[in-house]
Amino acid sequence: MKRTLFSLLALFSLLTAAADEGMWLPSLIASRIDDMRAKGFRLTAEDIYSINRASMKDAVVLFDGGCTGELVSPEGLLLTNHHCGYDAIQRHSTVEHDYLTHGFWARSRQEELPNKGLNVRFLVRMEEVTDRIAAGETPEEIIRRAEAEGEGYKASVEQMYYGDQQFLFLYEQFDDVRLVAAPPSSIGKFGGDTDNWIWPRHTGDFSVFRIYASKENKPAAYSPDNVPYRPKKYFTISTKGFREGDFTMIYGFPGNTQEYILSDAAEYIATQSDPAKIAIRDGRLEIIARAQESDPALRIHYAAQRATIANAWKKWQGEVLGLTRRKTVETKRQREEAFARENSRGAELLREMKAEYQRIMTPYFAREITVETLRALPAKYTDEERAEAVFPARRETERELFRWLFGEYARRCPAQYQVPVFLDGVARSGSPETFAEEVFEEVWAGAETPLSDSLRNGSKRMLDHITWLLGTDRLRNLTSRRLNDLYRGYVHELRTTWPDHPYYPDANLTLRVAYGAIAGYEYADGEYHTPLTTLDGIIAKDNPEIYDYDIPQALRDLYASKDYGRWGVEIDGRRTVPVCFLASNHTTGGNSGSPVLNARGELIGINFDRTWRSTMSDIAFDPTICRNIAVDIRYVLFVMDRIGGAGYLLREMKIK
């Protein structure tokens, strides 16, 4: 009896959305509004999401297909993270005009820089279409009809709860998005990979763009005749500050969570998948770091690539740490045992799911290793790359990357799933590294590369074969078609067996609301982390000998003079500038750039990260340690005004 009671309590604790847990669909936010208001929210569900009048959703965009941005002026001015705009900033940077290092501040609309291929999407509406699909209407038909409703409309049908519900998401896409401002990387990426996912944090992770439209305010391809977009809604900015415990809300596009997965999948992530991918990226990062240290041009060239590789690399390390310390696998296993005792249909589903996991783990692991190694290498170098002055200097770095990744593929990919062309090449040449040299020389030469083509085509065929084995091409997570069907029934049983417990669908890059509070946390026994950092912490870390900690002299001068203007505040008897803060909102990748709002729906910060152990929240949210990290809007405005000399941009905004 005691064991059953303990197991049920464990089950309830995992099923119940805790005070700050959840990624809620905006169109259904009315079901959460009482809880939000009890925690301090002062507005209504209609203020958050409405299709009849302007609401917060009209001030939030999906930025560049993987981040979030928010509108802050009636002239299309948009804020997002520096790391979300990083590719655009890098593409405009040269050794002569190094915007990554020195920052960029357009002094007029004419100086704002267009970005080919960069777009933003506003959500027009979302609606459940489960019944329409059950009645025989296909998702393609639903999408086609929706996109015909307006100019620049894009639509998708997305699954919730593994397909137990289906929703249409209709967007308006704008393709003329121009870079307006970016701080120096020593502010926007302060701390670099060392501080990534870490608290305390002192990163001014923001960049500024502007959306342009036709004179009719409609989506349009880039043209000098386009004008700034006039949004239905933009956020008021609050500089009044906050206290620990104050309500916060995040509105954005979280990318991928797996809150309902079984212990089998959590164990695979913590003990097999993440450790292997971390080790592979260890080597890539070491090779790239040496190249960057050897040549300023290589530093710029590899900047975005290194940041992309390092971001997931460090995230996976925190995920393993969090899952291990919080004993997530064990807790999930207890939940499964309790559920099986309570629900006979659930017990049968669990048996089938665990059997399916055993079937798919090895081929899925092979897929992950192939993607991390062979598929991470260039198939060829373009004419544009050949024209770059840095091209000859890259040769030895690229050769070393080929050698490392071929070796890792040979060592880690299960033998039965290795590409036949690869196996033949290694057997003929004597080692993976020697074969890598042979393939690299063909690719580098830029001529026809039959060996490289054969290898790439072979790896694609193997990935296609694994996809066939798994029965689905939705392979962001360890899954299969059969497993997805079983999860649909499993989650349905959970929701019907305990209907009074709140459930939310896993993140899938659709617009969501998360809410919580400004909150510190106990990192370790006797070590409490307060939820705010300041300019004093930046100065303490400042080191001119380390690129990621070498702040602009202007920032040192402002600190010395304390000439902070309206952005200075008194904290514990000293005058300083707030920089970053912690909150307990449930976030993940894709929430980068999301607006952090106070109880009145005013912008107080820009979300950009989580604490290291919080990365486990993709699998299991723990309200005691899971925290999101945001840059304080007062620091954003301070940098724009006092470092960038871009006070003219502030005049567009509504600042309180």
Catalytic residues: 83, 205, 592
Sign of the Cα torsion 105, 109, 110, 115 reads: positive
d(CA 442, CA 399): 11
Q: Among candidates 270, 269, 305, which has minimal Cα distance to 284?
A: 305
Chain centroid to CA 176: 23
Q: Is 476 exposed, middle or buried (0-12, 13-18, 19+ CB in 10 A)?
A: exposed
User: At 411, is the secondary structure helix, strand, or coil?
Assistant: helix
Helices and strands, counts by H and E, the chain: 25, 22
Asked whether 14 and 342 are in contact (CB, 8 A), the reply is no
Sign of the Cα torsion 26, 29, 32, 38 reads: positive
Q: Identity (one letter) of the amino acid at 501?
A: H
DSSP 94: -
> End-to-end CA distance of the chain, in Å?
58
DSSP 506: P
Contacts of 60 (CB under 8 A, 6+ apart): 68, 69, 70, 71, 122, 123, 251, 252, 511, 594, 595
d(CA 308, CA 83): 9
Degrees (nearest 5) of the Cα angle 72, 76, 81? 60
Q: Which residues pair with 211 in a beta bridge?
A: 177
Asked whether 507 and 256 are in contact (CB, 8 A), the reply is yes
d(CA 460, CA 443): 17
Dihedral, CA of residue 615, residue 621, residue 623 and residue 629, to nearest 10: 30
Contacts of 112 (CB under 8 A, 6+ apart): 106, 178, 179, 180, 210
Q: Which two tokens stand for residue 611?
A: 């604490």
